[in-house]
Structure 1
Amino acid sequence: MIDVQRLRVLRTVAEHGSFNQAAAALRLTPSAVSQHVAALERSLGTRVVERSTRGVTLTRAGHIMVGAAESVAAELTHARREIDRLGTGRTQFTVATFTSGGRLLLPGALSRLTSAHPGTVVHVREAEPEEGLLLVRQGAVDAALTYHFDGPLPGRPGRRTAVEWTALMADPLHMVLPEAHPLADRQTLDIAELAEEPWVLGCLKTEAYLRRYAERAGFTPEVRGTTTDYFFACSLVAAGLGVSLIPSIALASALPGLRVVPVSPPAPARHIGVAVPRGRGHHPSVATLLRALQDGAAAAG
């Protein structure tokens, strides 16, 4: 029989990549953490981690067991919530979201949720995509509104089995220029055409995309403004500090003094969706939220 505490220890080791850091998070000694992992390996008859001077990495068996650990933790959390509901008659429901997507899609969806399930107490917490997915895997939230760029969902390889992903909408990125810019009247723009321009960055993930594209196009962007708020980034562009790359839904209330120009195909886009714990998609509250978010995304698109 697999010990749940050993699974918890392995999951923490995987999150931190180190016995020492996992020990600090769990308030155990590194020796105790090592013993828990070793005992788990003996019970399974195979190694779950590879130890080296650079830290600890999971084996394929380790990835499988971490997925199981996340599922077990999530189920225990949900069971606790159900027991609390039996005592209070009220259901606690928590949604994680990134800012711009939450502003566009969540208000209407949460109104439908609370109308359909009046005994539900809703909590919202802001979280970046990777954090939102982790919170779903851990059972800390019931759903996460999140996104990813082209490619796989955020997270480490082998760690997607604990969540179900429902795609909602594509959110293309656009060039944002001061309205007096010489290229402001263009129908489309290639990012490389702005290689000599100073840039204002609206979030770290957009920055990462821009730098990858710039490297392929043979230039290094000169960054004059860095912020995690798209509205602030737009205000800096309007002030003439530079140009920026902004997702469509963050431009719903664009400032005066700006021109928004689509990026030439293939245009970069964020792929917005909602993640829920695997097997929870048919839960009444979760199903209501999913339908509401899908309807909101369809209306926004």
Structure 2
Amino acid sequence: MVAAGSYSAAARVLGYTQPAITQQMKALERAVGTPLFTRVGRKMKLTEAGESLARHAESILGSLSAAEAQLKAYTRLRTGRVRVCGFPSANVTLVPEALSGLAKDHPGVQVELLEGEPPESLRRLQRGECDITLAFTYPGLHEEVPEEVAEVRLLEDQLTVLLPTGHPLARRRAVHLADLAEERWIAGCPRCRANLLHECAELGFVPDIRFATDDNLVVQSLVAQGLGVAMMPALVLPSLSLTRVCGRVLEPAARRHIAAYVYRDHLRIPATAVVLDELKRVAANRIGC
């Protein structure tokens, strides 16, 4: 109406009848309690109140257009932010490969990467500090999560033993855990340490744990110096940075289960769903999945 200059011209532009436009404008004037237009010859001119309302209307319509464009970008996967909390070995293996694929196919989706070991990483999900949590469990350990949280299984990760390259058992392709009963041990995170104690107890011995650390690089360094051996998931082996250590498959075979956890309602968010799809794709290409 403001741009058209008259009710009849506005009706032609908008595709309405002139009486319909006239009724709408009269209703608007009744709602605001003051005239918005005055007639000057054959054209309509904004009153001071009308000019003020027009300025606000332009701002509102601009904001609505921007909001609509942003919502379309989210639903069409052009943009979005997803917070992923992963445990260290996942953050150096699964996650970077998944983010590489995501960057190629969905460059507008941004991922904030956090780090945490389970079960604390699962509590971060429940506190709303992340959107997806990657966590691992061992056989016999059931992860307690709320009903509204979905578990997306990714892969089973073979456990190995990390040895100095000069160790007599390093010549073998596989190592029996019982053969390591007299060794000094380097334990990992509390959950990994509990599993080590359980596995050894099943074979009738208590491991001599000399060091405990969450840092895989520190574990590798301690093993390289001959200070002990360590139970290490196969997922970590490709990222070994030292030449004086080697990984050997454990017998009897032992595995940990790796899964992603996300609130079920968030599975409908396109950006979250596509990040999960990339994680599943990467996991499916891993040995032992």
CA apart distance, 1:219: 1.9
Contact 1:98 1:128 in 2 (8 A): yes
Residue number among 253, 264, 275 corresponding to 2:251 in the alignment: 264
Looking at both structures, which has the greater relative contact order when contacts are Cα pairs under 8 Å and sequence separation is at least 6? 2
**Residue 252 of structure 1 aligns to a residue in which SS?**
helix
Distance verdict in 2 for CA 1:299–1:222, change over 3 Å: same
Higher mean Cα deviation, 102-111 or 267-276? Answer: 102-111
Amino acid in the other structure paired with 1:144: T
How many pairs are equivalent? 214
Higher mean Cα deviation, 107-116 or 184-193? Answer: 107-116
Corresponding residue of 2:94: 105
CA apart distance, 1:284: 0.8
Which runs of structure 2 are paired with 1:193-208 in the superposition (5 Å)? 193-208=179-194
**Residue 171 of structure 2 aligns to a residue in which SS?**
coil
Q: Give the % identical residues.
A: 35
Contact 2:81 2:271 in 1 (8 A): no
1:144 partnered with 2:130: no
CA apart distance, 1:116: 4.7
Distance verdict in 2 for CA 1:300–1:213, change over 3 Å: closer
Which runs of structure 2 are paired with 1:107-146 in the superposition (5 Å)? 107-114=96-103, 116-146=105-135
Contact 2:92 2:239 in 1 (8 A): no
CA apart distance, 1:125: 1.1
In 2, Cα distance between the equivalents of 1:115 and 1:280?
Answer: 23
1:162 partnered with 2:152: no
Q: Gaps spanning 5+ residues in structure 2: where?
A: 1-66
Contact 1:136 1:163 in 2 (8 A): no
Contact 1:113 1:285 in 2 (8 A): no
CA apart distance, 1:118: 4.6
In 2, Cα distance between the equivalents of 1:261 and 1:118?
Answer: 39
CA apart distance, 1:132: 2.2
**Residue 294 of structure 1 aligns to a residue in which SS?**
helix
Is the radius of gyration larger for structure 1 or structure 2?
2
Distance verdict in 2 for CA 1:263–1:135, change over 3 Å: same
In 2, Cα distance between the equivalents of 1:115 and 1:184?
Answer: 40
**Residue 180 of structure 1 aligns to a residue in which SS?**
coil
**TM norm structure 1:** 0.64
Contact 1:112 1:288 in 2 (8 A): no
In 2, Cα distance between the equivalents of 1:123 and 1:284?
Answer: 16
Corresponding residue of 1:238: 224
In 2, Cα distance between the equivalents of 1:262 and 1:114?
Answer: 34
Deviations for 1:205-249, whole angstroms, at most 9, x for unmatched residues?
A: 221111122223222211222211122212211111111111111
Q: Gaps spanning 5+ residues in structure 1: where?
A: 1-81
CA apart distance, 1:169: 1.1
Which runs of structure 2 are paired with 1:50-69 in the superposition (5 Å)? none
Residue number among 263, 271, 274 corresponding to 1:285 in the alignment: 271
Deviations for 1:233-276, whole angstroms, at most 9, x for unmatched residues?
A: 122111111111111111113221223221113x2212111111
Distance verdict in 2 for CA 1:112–1:206, change over 3 Å: same
